[in-house]
């Protein structure tokens, strides 16, 4: 379908209510056939034509809206098409629910579109298809994180089911509902839903307290107090839980007399048999309403109440364990293993630490060692709980090991115990990971959730990209992205680019972590539909990119493949010199993504330069060459200007170079991997043997010269014998003892050759770039910066783009100069075709003579028959002599020449 036909279809389209009511699915299938005929280079133009027609001429056009949406699905599947959604709404208005369902399904194949899901859900609701409606709502609430009304309805629906799995889903949805209501700052709805949640999970006291804490942080302390007062009514029989609730209320509202009185009542019930209850209450002033520091009063009471007759204690000065035999207002009498001791009550509170009966030190002092050791070895969860609870509910593996050995377990026993304990620590939800102390585990009062555990792991990671990896694993494992744990992870990244008021931070030199934070958050917002992710207003990628000092270094430091892809995509959008930039980035992201990007943007020819550079500079660009050699066919190399001979000789030369590096103990592990790749391609996959088989004796000599000099190890020496065998088989009179040797430039057509005057001209231009043009552009950037508002500053943008282009030229030219070889004209002869010669050929196909001058890349001028010795034509002519017949193919074009004359041309 061409533009003219489309315009005709749009102009002739007749819209009416009756058409909307009679239209069927086949109509859209016919349109799909027309869309399939659109040429790739016209697809954007087609969409624009349809959008203009829809917006300016006919807002009811079915064709325009359908085709515009279809093109959007093809080109930007993550985006919603307003035109297409409008079309669906139009059919919904005339009750064509069959078409609503069909069109929504087309959208949802490529994108979990919130508007499309909502339209589909309403469609099923109008049809009274409850099962399908709730199924769609379930999809909708997974992508629309602000939706609460449907979430509550869905939760209630699930809870009515007889299936336990459905009821559990309903509970999960109520938890999500509370999280969303907190995020929306909707205290009234929270208060309505909280009692329902308590009734559903009365035993999850720790979780419910956590909800109150989040409300206090994000909504307000007074609202949290209201929820706590509701919660305490459900736990009237659990005195410990009541104490926790009343303490939490007083934390948020110090002057709450009711909570204070209820806390005192609860303490009296809990410690009714404690001999010092009245004294502890009196000394702490907890029941004195005029003592305002209620938090301190609680701390004093709980410290003092721990001391009672029969309490085990630890004396810090003597490192002894004892037990209180008697205690009164003045004195404390303590039984130590070797003697009794008496001290004042005040001194006891300062010098003694009360220990619970389950403390490991108490157990060591009262339980026979053999019995305790056996319990520790056979009941590892119990042992871990004892050890951690004895150390403020946390301990490192090293601390636990030292506690057990040698006092209870031998070295062999404790090592076996540690191995088993590590597995238990990682799998048991009652053990968490400390975020404050390295290699330290914590004991939890409630099982740790997946979300909490991931957050702890996230906090324990010191490297930025390790944190990115944890966040990705969180999403991959379907962690709750609305949980506080996930939001805390997000805050780490948003703080890199956003101030507390939502504005962007002041930017100077943008680092890889800043740009990665931006890309990650934008990706979550756009591609994961996380509309709660906040990006700073007025901060486009361009603003960050312009402030990157060194784009290649920045990209190199991005240690995450997905972020590298996003970076590349954005560079293509904002960098006018993106082709050069991506070629510079390619060595640091050796995948098909960058070549595919060139291809999808119809710039595949530009990428051919990468192939040429990898051959010309195979030592410095060995990784690039190896990647391309391993992943692209000979046909592709030839298409990019590298002959099969040039490719083979470069691979053999690189193999020789890497083997010598290994001999010299340089980067041995990496080089051995690369050698293995080359050996496989060259010998196991028969590249060398095929070249000899298909070529003449001169080519065979070249190949053997390179293979023979390879410093192969004993295991690979057989490769040389195989090559010899093939040459003997093809050329029975082949003389392996010939003293004739081939110079490297004869055998390996790589490297950059030039004349002295060419080199001097290039050095002069390099000097001008470095000392004239770049200082001038730096001055221009400074002046443009002073104009302010860099986002709208065209002078600044132009200067930065020019600076990037000049820096790129500087790097490339400097690299070329370093590896270039100046050729002395006196060394050039007419014995064979080489640099600096002119060769006259007879074209056996065209039946005509043609003359070429062979020079280097800098001096080549193909329009005047001055060709680069490394170009496909030049490399096939190198080393030929008068009388040689040369047959070869370049880009599927066969050539057949006879050498008539060779002359010195410089």
Sequence-distant (6+) residues with CB within 8 A of 427 are none
Residues 640-663: tens digit of each pLDDT: 888 888 899 999 989 988 998 898
- pTM, rounded to two decimals: 0.60
10: left (phi over 0), alpha (psi -120 to 50) or beta: alpha
As a whole number of angstroms, the distance between CA 286 and CA 292 comes to: 9
As a dihedral over the C-alpha atoms of residue 688, residue 690, residue 694, residue 700, rounded to 10 degrees, the angle is 20
Q: How confident is the model at residue 46 (pLDDT cuts 50, 70, 90)?
A: confident
Q: What is the tens place of the pLDDT at every residue in 587-607?
A: 999 999 999 999 888 888 889
Q: Which of 66-80, 445-459, 665-679, 735-749 has the highest mean pLDDT?
A: 665-679
Residue 790, pLDDT above cutoff 70: no
User: Quick check: 572 pLDDT over 60?
Assistant: yes
- Average pLDDT for residues 882-889, to the nearest whole number? 90
What's the pLDDT tens digit per position in 388-431?
A: 999 999 999 999 999 999 999 999 999 999 999 999 998 888 88
Q: How many CB atoms lie within 10 A of CB 797?
A: 17
Q: How far apart are the first and last CA of the chain?
A: 57
In b/e form, how buried is each residue of 298-316, taking b as 16+ CB within 10 angstroms?
Answer: bebbeebbbbbeebbbbbe
Burial 62-86 (b: 16+ CB within 10 A, else e): bbbbbbbbbbbbeeeeeebbbbbbb
Q: Residue 740: pLDDT above 60?
A: no
pLDDT grade for 788, boundaries at 50, 70 and 90? low
Return d(Cα 333, Cα 314) in angstroms, integer.
14
Phi, psi at 212, each rounded to 5°: -60, -40
Q: What CA–CA distance (Å, rounded) separates 231 from 201?
A: 11
Rounded distance between C-alpha atoms, residue 209 and residue 267, angstroms = 20
H or E stretch at 806: helix 794-819
**Mean pLDDT for the chain?**
88
Checking if the pLDDT of 743 tops 70, the result is: no
Whether 148 shows a pLDDT value over 60: the answer reads yes
pLDDT confidence of residue 99: 95
- Per-residue pLDDT at 1: 62
Banded pLDDT at 754 (limits 50, 70, 90): very high
Query: What's the pLDDT score for residue 793?
Result: 58
The 3-state DSSP class for residue 651 equals helix
Tell me: pLDDT of 731 over 80.
yes
Reduced to 3 states (helix: H, G, I; strand: E, B; else coil), residue 436 is coil
Question: Of 256-270, 696-710, 731-745, 780-794, where does mean pLDDT reach its minimum?
Answer: 731-745
Report how far residue 580's alpha carbon sits from residue 564's, in angstroms, rounded to the nearest whole number: 17
Reported as a single tens digit per residue, the pLDDT across 229-277 is: 999 999 888 999 999 999 999 999 999 999 999 999 999 999 998 888 9
Dihedral, CA atoms, 65, 68, 69, 70, nearest 10 degrees? 120
- pLDDT of the residue at 792: 53
pLDDT at residue 37 greater than cutoff 50: yes
* Residue 323 clears pLDDT 90, i.e. is over it: yes
Most confident of 68-77, 284-293, 504-513: 284-293
Question: Could you tell me if 904 and 890 are in contact, meaning their C-beta atoms sit under 8 angstroms apart?
Answer: no
Which pLDDT value is given to residue 741?
Answer: 44
Residue with the bigger pLDDT between 56 and 242: it is 242
Q: Check whether 746 has a pLDDT greater than 80.
A: no
Q: Assess whether pLDDT exceeds 90 at residue 198.
A: yes
Q: What is the pLDDT of residue 846?
A: 92
Task: Kindly list the distances between the CA atom of residue 7 and the CA atoms of 19, 49, 50, 66, in Å, as whole numbers in the listed order.
Answer: 20, 8, 9, 14
Our CA angle for 897, 899, 901, nearest 5°, is 145
Top pLDDT among 812 and 422 is at 422
Identify which has the larger pLDDT, 287 or 738.
Answer: 287
pLDDT score for 745: 44
Q: Kindly state the average pLDDT of the residues 460-481.
A: 92
Beta strand 820-822 with 752-754 is: parallel
**Would you say residue 6 has pLDDT above 90?**
no
pLDDT beyond 80 at 531? no
* Pairwise CA distance, residues 479 & 471, whole Å: 10
**Residue 891: predicted pLDDT:** 74
Instruction: Average the pLDDT over 431-456 and give the result.
Output: 82
Domains within the chain, CATH numbers bracketed: 1-144 (1.25.40), 364-448 (1.10.10), 449-574 (no CATH), 756-822 (1.10.287.180), 826-904 (3.10.50.30)
Q: What is the distance between the alpha carbons of residues 704 and 189, in angstroms, rounded to a whole number?
A: 83
Residue 804 has pLDDT above 90, yes or no: no
Instruction: Determine the average pLDDT of the residues in 365-374.
Output: 94
- The distance from CA 268 to its chain's CA centroid, rounded to whole angstroms, is 55
Q: Is the pLDDT of residue 533 over 60?
A: yes
Q: State residue 742's pLDDT score.
A: 45
DSSP H helical segments within 285-379, as ranges? 294-305, 345-351, 360-366, 369-378
Highest mean pLDDT among 134-143, 189-198, 490-499, 821-830: 189-198
Dihedral angle sign, alpha carbons of residues 719, 721, 724, 728: negative
Give the mean pLDDT of 883-899.
88
């Amino acid at each position: 379908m061409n533009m003219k036909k489309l315009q005709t279809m749009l102009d002739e389209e007749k819209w009416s209510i009756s058409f909307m009511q009679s239209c069927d699915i086949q109509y859209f299938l016919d349109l799909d056939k027309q869309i399939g005929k659109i040429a790739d280079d016209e697809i954007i133009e087609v969409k624009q034509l349809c959008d203009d027609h829809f917006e300016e001429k006919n807002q009811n056009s079915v064709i325009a809206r359908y085709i515009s949406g279809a093109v959007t699905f093809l080109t930007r599947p993550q985006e919603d098409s307003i035109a297409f959604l409008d079309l669906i709404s139009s059919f919904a208005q005339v009750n064509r629910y069959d078409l609503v369902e069909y069109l929504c399904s087309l959208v949802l194949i490529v994108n979990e579109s919130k508007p499309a899901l909502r339209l589909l859900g309403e469609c099923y609701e109008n049809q009274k298809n409850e099962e399908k409606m709730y199924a769609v709502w379930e999809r909708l609430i997974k992508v629309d994180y602000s939706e609460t009304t449907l979430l509550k309805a869905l939760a209630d629906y699930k809870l009515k089911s007889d299936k336990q799995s459905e009821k559990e889903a309903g509970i999960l949805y109520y938890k999500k509902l509370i999280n969303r209501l907190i995020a929306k700052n909707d205290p009234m709805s929270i208060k309505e839903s909280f009692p329902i949640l308590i009734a559903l999970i009365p035993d999850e006291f720790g979780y419910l307290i956590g909800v109150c804490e989040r409300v206090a942080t994000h909504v307000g302390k007074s609202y949290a107090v209201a929820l706590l007062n509701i919660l305490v009514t459900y736990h009237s029989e659990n005195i410990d839980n009541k104490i926790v609730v009343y303490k939490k209320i007083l934390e948020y509202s110090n002057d709450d007399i009711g909570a204070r009185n209820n806390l005192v009542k609860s303490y009296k019930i809990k410690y009714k048999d404690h001999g010092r209850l009245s004294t502890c209450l009196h000394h702490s002033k907890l029941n004195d309403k005029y003592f305002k520091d209620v938090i301190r009063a609680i701390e004093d009471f709980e410290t003092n109440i721990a001391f009672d007759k029969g309490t085990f204690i630890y004396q810090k000065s003597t490192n002894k364990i004892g037990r209180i035999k008697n205690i009164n207002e003045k004195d404390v009498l303590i039984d130590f293993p070797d003697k009794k001791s008496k001290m004042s009550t005040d001194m006891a509170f300062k010098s003694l630490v009360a220990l619970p009966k389950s403390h490991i030190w108490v157990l060591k002092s009262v339980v026979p060692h053999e019995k305790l050791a056996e319990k520790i070895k056979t009941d590892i969860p119990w042992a871990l709980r004892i050890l951690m609870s004895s150390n403020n509910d946390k301990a490192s593996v090293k601390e636990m090991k030292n506690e057990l050995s040698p006092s209870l377990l031998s070295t062999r026993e404790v090592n076996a115990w540690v191995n088993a304990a590590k597995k238990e620590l990682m799998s048991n939800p009652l053990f968490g990971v400390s975020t404050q102390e390295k290699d330290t585990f914590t004991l939890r009062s409630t099982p740790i959730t997946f979300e909490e555990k991931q957050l702890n792991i996230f906090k324990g990671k010191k490297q930025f990209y390790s944190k990115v990896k944890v966040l990705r694993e969180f999403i991959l494992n379907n962690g709750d992205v609305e949980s506080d744990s996930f939001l805390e992870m997000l805050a780490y990244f948003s703080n890199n680019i956003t101030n507390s008021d939502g504005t962007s931070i002041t930017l100077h030199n943008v680092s890889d972590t800043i740009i990665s934070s931006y890309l990650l958050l934008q990706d979550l917002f756009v591609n994961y539909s996380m509309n709660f992710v906040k990006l700073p207003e007025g901060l486009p990628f361009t603003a960050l990119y312009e402030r990157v000092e060194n784009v290649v270094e920045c990209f190199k430091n991005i240690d995450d493949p997905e972020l590298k892809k996003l970076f590349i995509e954005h560079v293509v959008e904002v960098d006018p010199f993106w082709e050069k930039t991506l070629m510079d980035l390619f060595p640091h992201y050796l995948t098909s993504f960058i070549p595919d990007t060139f291809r999808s943007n119809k710039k595949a020819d530009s990428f051919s330069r990468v192939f040429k550079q990898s051959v010309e500079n195979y030592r410095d660009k060995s990784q690039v060459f190896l990647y391309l050699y391993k992943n692209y066919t000979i046909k592709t190399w030839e298409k990019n200007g590298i002959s099969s001979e040039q490719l083979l000789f470069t691979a053999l030369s690189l193999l020789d170079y890497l083997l010598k590096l290994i001999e010299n103990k340089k980067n041995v592990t990496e080089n051995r991997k690369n050698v293995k790749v080359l050996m496989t391609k060259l010998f196991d996959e028969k590249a060398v043997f095929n070249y000899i088989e298909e070529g003449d004796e001169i080519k065979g000599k070249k190949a053997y010269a390179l293979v023979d000099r390879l410093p192969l190890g004993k295991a690979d020496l057989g490769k040389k014998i195989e090559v010899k065998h093939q040459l003997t088989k093809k050329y029975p009179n082949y003389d392996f003892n010939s003293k004739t040797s081939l110079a490297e430039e004869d055998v390996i057509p790589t490297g950059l050759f030039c004349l002295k005057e060419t080199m001097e001209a290039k050095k002069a231009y390099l000097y001008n770039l470095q000392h004239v043009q770049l200082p001038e552009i730096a001055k221009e950037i400074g002046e443009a910066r002073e104009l302010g508002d860099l986002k709208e500053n065209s002078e600044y943008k132009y200067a930065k783009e020019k600076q990037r282009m000049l820096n790129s030229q500087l790097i490339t030219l400097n690299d070329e100069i370093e590896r270039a070889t100046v050729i002395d004209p006196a060394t050039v002869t007419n014995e064979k075709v080489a640099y600096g010669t002119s060769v006259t050929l007879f074209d056996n196909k065209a039946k005509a003579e043609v003359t070429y001058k062979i020079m280097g890349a800098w001096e080549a001028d193909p329009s005047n028959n001055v060709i680069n010795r490394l170009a496909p034509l030049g490399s096939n002519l190198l080393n030929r002599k008068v009388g040689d017949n040369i047959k070869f193919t370049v880009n599927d074009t066969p050539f057949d020449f006879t050498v008539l004359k060779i002359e010195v041309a410089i």
